[in-house]
Amino acid sequence: MANVGTPNYAGPTMQIIGIAGAADNQVVAELENAERYNEFTLMSSAGEMDVDVSLDGVNFAVAIAIEDLHSLTPATRVVVTAADLVYRFQGTFKTVRVRQETNNVADAILYCSQNGRG
């Protein structure tokens, strides 16, 4: 699958504005070659989302646990996001995929950066 969404590059970072999904499990944002990034921040102004990652670009770990930056407990991790909140996950992946959860439209923004690389 090709990249999904509109990428905006800014030096060592990239922001992907996702498409408006229409159905459960629809891919709303996908970065096919995510290997140059190792820190990801995700939010949705509408709808819930799942995040899948792949180390080889073919096989996906479905709905990884991501850090809820809104939580008062720093180590809180969730599998499904909530609207209007910000989430973070780190790692080196071949592909990062954001899917819509349920039939509520997910308005996703995925921010990718290269933390600690120079």
Report domain extents, the chain: 6-113
Residues 42, 113: contact at Cβ < 8 Å?
no
Q: Sign of torsion, CA 14 30 2 33?
A: positive
Domain covering 6-113, topology = Jelly Rolls (2.60.120)
pLDDT in tens, 30-43: 999 899 999 999 99
Yes or no: say if 28 and 102 are a contact pair by the CB < 8 Å rule: no
Contact 49, 107 (CB under 8 A): no
The pair of three-digit structure tokens given for residue 4, joined into one six-digit string:
């999904």
Distance CA 74, CA 77 (A): 9
CB atoms within 10 A of CB 35: 12
pLDDT tens-place string over residues 49-95 = 999 999 999 999 888 999 999 888 877 899 999 888 999 999 999 99
22 or 93: which leads in pLDDT: 93
Confidence of residue 117 (pLDDT cuts 50, 70, 90): low
